[in-house]
Amino acid sequence: MKIGICGTHRTGKTTLAKKLSEKLGIPFVPSNVADIFKSLGLDPHEQYDFKTTMDNQRSILNHCLEKWIKHSDVSFVTDRTPIDLIGYMMCVNYKALPCLDASEYIRYIEYCSKMRHLLFDNIICLQPGITLSDDQTEDITCHREKVQANIIDVCIKDTEHLLIIDQTNISLKKRVKKCINFLATNP
Protein backbone atom coordinates (compact mmCIF):
# COMPACT_ATOMS: atom_id res chain seq x y z
CA MET A 1 0.00 0.00 0.00
CA LYS A 2 1.54 3.29 -1.15
CA ILE A 3 -0.20 6.26 0.48
CA GLY A 4 0.38 9.83 -0.62
CA ILE A 5 -0.89 12.79 1.39
CA CYS A 6 -1.48 15.90 -0.71
CA GLY A 7 -2.69 19.39 0.07
CA THR A 8 -1.67 23.00 0.25
CA HIS A 9 0.96 24.49 2.52
CA ARG A 10 0.19 24.17 6.27
CA THR A 11 -2.64 21.63 5.99
CA GLY A 12 -0.92 19.06 8.20
CA LYS A 13 0.40 16.67 5.54
CA THR A 14 3.59 15.78 7.41
CA THR A 15 1.87 15.47 10.79
CA LEU A 16 -0.81 13.17 9.37
CA ALA A 17 1.69 11.11 7.37
CA LYS A 18 3.85 10.52 10.45
CA LYS A 19 0.85 9.52 12.56
CA LEU A 20 -0.48 7.16 9.86
CA SER A 21 2.97 5.62 9.54
CA GLU A 22 2.98 4.96 13.28
CA LYS A 23 -0.59 3.58 13.37
CA LEU A 24 -0.19 1.38 10.28
CA GLY A 25 3.34 0.24 11.13
CA ILE A 26 4.68 1.27 7.72
CA PRO A 27 7.59 3.57 6.86
CA PHE A 28 7.13 7.33 6.64
CA VAL A 29 8.96 8.66 3.59
CA PRO A 30 9.42 12.42 4.10
CA SER A 31 9.69 14.72 1.11
CA ASN A 32 11.96 17.27 2.83
CA VAL A 33 11.04 19.98 0.31
CA ALA A 34 12.37 22.77 2.57
CA ASP A 35 15.76 21.03 2.64
CA ILE A 36 15.80 20.84 -1.16
CA PHE A 37 15.14 24.57 -1.44
CA LYS A 38 17.89 25.21 1.10
CA SER A 39 20.38 22.99 -0.77
CA LEU A 40 19.62 24.93 -3.97
CA GLY A 41 20.12 28.25 -2.16
CA LEU A 42 16.52 29.28 -2.84
CA ASP A 43 13.72 30.64 -0.68
CA PRO A 44 10.41 28.75 -1.17
CA HIS A 45 8.47 31.98 -0.61
CA GLU A 46 10.21 33.93 -3.38
CA GLN A 47 9.05 34.27 -6.99
CA TYR A 48 11.56 33.09 -9.61
CA ASP A 49 11.78 33.18 -13.37
CA PHE A 50 10.40 30.21 -15.31
CA LYS A 51 13.74 28.43 -15.82
CA THR A 52 14.67 28.65 -12.12
CA THR A 53 11.19 27.53 -11.07
CA MET A 54 11.21 24.65 -13.55
CA ASP A 55 14.71 23.55 -12.49
CA ASN A 56 13.71 23.72 -8.83
CA GLN A 57 10.51 21.73 -9.39
CA ARG A 58 12.44 19.07 -11.32
CA SER A 59 14.94 18.83 -8.45
CA ILE A 60 12.12 18.38 -5.96
CA LEU A 61 10.37 15.82 -8.16
CA ASN A 62 13.59 13.85 -8.76
CA HIS A 63 14.41 13.89 -5.05
CA CYS A 64 10.92 12.63 -4.16
CA LEU A 65 10.83 10.05 -6.97
CA GLU A 66 14.15 8.65 -5.80
CA LYS A 67 12.74 8.16 -2.29
CA TRP A 68 9.36 6.81 -3.45
CA ILE A 69 10.93 4.36 -5.92
CA LYS A 70 13.40 3.20 -3.28
CA HIS A 71 10.39 2.19 -1.15
CA SER A 72 8.21 0.91 -3.99
CA ASP A 73 8.52 -2.72 -2.94
CA VAL A 74 7.03 -2.04 0.51
CA SER A 75 4.07 -0.15 1.91
CA PHE A 76 4.78 3.46 2.85
CA VAL A 77 3.17 6.83 3.51
CA THR A 78 4.58 10.15 2.32
CA ASP A 79 3.79 13.80 2.94
CA ARG A 80 3.78 14.93 -0.71
CA THR A 81 2.63 13.52 -4.02
CA PRO A 82 3.19 14.44 -7.65
CA ILE A 83 -0.20 16.18 -7.39
CA ASP A 84 1.35 18.65 -4.93
CA LEU A 85 4.19 19.30 -7.33
CA ILE A 86 1.74 20.05 -10.14
CA GLY A 87 -0.09 22.43 -7.83
CA TYR A 88 3.09 24.20 -6.76
CA MET A 89 4.34 24.54 -10.32
CA MET A 90 1.08 25.88 -11.65
CA CYS A 91 0.62 28.57 -9.03
CA VAL A 92 3.98 29.83 -7.88
CA ASN A 93 5.32 31.70 -10.83
CA TYR A 94 3.31 34.67 -12.02
CA LYS A 95 6.46 36.49 -13.18
CA ALA A 96 7.19 33.72 -15.67
CA LEU A 97 3.82 33.65 -17.40
CA PRO A 98 4.74 35.93 -20.33
CA CYS A 99 7.78 33.79 -21.23
CA LEU A 100 6.30 30.44 -20.29
CA ASP A 101 7.45 27.48 -22.35
CA ALA A 102 4.06 25.77 -22.58
CA SER A 103 5.40 22.50 -23.99
CA GLU A 104 7.92 22.10 -21.17
CA TYR A 105 5.26 22.99 -18.63
CA ILE A 106 2.80 20.45 -20.06
CA ARG A 107 5.46 17.70 -20.19
CA TYR A 108 6.22 18.30 -16.51
CA ILE A 109 2.54 18.13 -15.54
CA GLU A 110 1.96 14.98 -17.62
CA TYR A 111 5.03 13.33 -16.10
CA CYS A 112 3.87 14.16 -12.56
CA SER A 113 0.45 12.74 -13.37
CA LYS A 114 1.99 9.55 -14.76
CA MET A 115 4.16 9.13 -11.64
CA ARG A 116 1.14 9.56 -9.40
CA HIS A 117 -0.65 6.73 -11.19
CA LEU A 118 2.41 4.46 -11.16
CA LEU A 119 3.58 5.00 -7.60
CA PHE A 120 0.51 5.52 -5.42
CA ASP A 121 -2.38 3.21 -4.55
CA ASN A 122 -4.16 5.71 -2.32
CA ILE A 123 -4.26 9.49 -2.22
CA ILE A 124 -5.46 11.41 0.82
CA CYS A 125 -6.12 15.06 0.08
CA LEU A 126 -6.18 17.56 2.92
CA GLN A 127 -8.18 20.65 2.18
CA PRO A 128 -7.12 23.86 3.93
CA GLY A 129 -8.27 23.88 7.55
CA ILE A 130 -8.53 27.64 7.58
CA THR A 131 -10.86 29.55 5.31
CA LEU A 132 -8.57 31.64 3.15
CA SER A 133 -9.39 35.34 2.99
CA ASP A 134 -11.00 36.96 -0.04
CA ASP A 135 -9.79 40.37 1.11
CA GLN A 136 -8.36 42.50 -1.73
CA THR A 137 -5.27 43.19 0.39
CA GLU A 138 -4.34 39.52 0.88
CA ASP A 139 -0.72 38.65 0.33
CA ILE A 140 0.62 36.60 -2.56
CA THR A 141 1.10 33.52 -0.35
CA CYS A 142 -2.60 33.34 0.46
CA HIS A 143 -3.48 33.83 -3.21
CA ARG A 144 -1.07 31.05 -4.24
CA GLU A 145 -2.59 28.72 -1.66
CA LYS A 146 -6.08 29.33 -3.08
CA VAL A 147 -4.86 28.65 -6.62
CA GLN A 148 -3.00 25.56 -5.47
CA ALA A 149 -6.05 24.20 -3.63
CA ASN A 150 -8.13 24.57 -6.80
CA ILE A 151 -5.45 22.90 -8.93
CA ILE A 152 -5.17 19.99 -6.53
CA ASP A 153 -8.94 19.58 -6.64
CA VAL A 154 -8.80 19.33 -10.44
CA CYS A 155 -5.80 16.97 -10.45
CA ILE A 156 -7.38 14.46 -8.07
CA LYS A 157 -10.66 14.10 -9.95
CA ASP A 158 -9.55 10.94 -11.78
CA THR A 159 -7.91 9.32 -8.76
CA GLU A 160 -9.51 5.93 -8.13
CA HIS A 161 -8.64 5.49 -4.44
CA LEU A 162 -9.11 8.97 -3.04
CA LEU A 163 -10.06 10.34 0.35
CA ILE A 164 -10.70 14.06 0.73
CA ILE A 165 -10.50 15.33 4.27
CA ASP A 166 -12.43 18.57 4.36
CA GLN A 167 -12.08 21.60 6.59
CA THR A 168 -14.39 20.18 9.27
CA ASN A 169 -11.93 17.38 10.14
CA ILE A 170 -9.18 19.40 11.76
CA SER A 171 -8.26 17.23 14.75
CA LEU A 172 -5.44 14.80 14.10
CA LYS A 173 -7.31 12.01 15.89
CA LYS A 174 -10.36 12.42 13.60
CA ARG A 175 -8.16 12.62 10.51
CA VAL A 176 -6.28 9.44 11.42
CA LYS A 177 -9.52 7.56 12.15
CA LYS A 178 -11.02 8.66 8.83
CA CYS A 179 -7.84 7.58 6.99
CA ILE A 180 -7.70 4.19 8.70
CA ASN A 181 -11.35 3.51 7.81
CA PHE A 182 -10.72 4.56 4.19
CA LEU A 183 -7.58 2.44 3.87
CA ALA A 184 -9.37 -0.61 5.30
CA THR A 185 -11.76 -0.49 2.34
CA ASN A 186 -9.07 0.42 -0.26
CA PRO A 187 -6.07 -1.85 0.42
73-89 pLDDT, tens digit per residue, is: 999 999 999 988 887 77
Give the per-residue pLDDT at 132.
45
The number of domains in the chain is: 1
Burial of 2 (0-12, 13-18, 19+ CB in 10 A): buried
What is the model's pLDDT at position 46?
Answer: 79
Phi-psi region of 41 (alpha: psi -120 to 50; beta: other; left: phi over 0): left
Give the pLDDT confidence score for residue 129 in this predicted structure: 54
Is position 84 within any domain? Answer: yes
| 126: CATH | 3.40.50.300
122-179 tens-digit pLDDT:
988 887 654 444 444 445 455 555 555 555 555 555 666 777 777 666 788 888 888 8
Please give the pLDDT value at position 92: 55
Number of CB atoms found within 10 A of residue 133's CB: 12
The answer to whether residue 69 sits within a structural domain is yes
Reported pTM: 0.77
**Residue 139 confidence (pLDDT):** 52
Distance CA 33, CA 138 (A): 25
The rounded mean pLDDT for the chain is 78
Mean of pLDDT values over 56-63: 90
Q: How many Cα atoms sit within 13 Å of 135 on the Cβ side?
A: 9
Residue 185: inside a domain, yes or no? no
CB 165 within 8 A of CB 178: yes
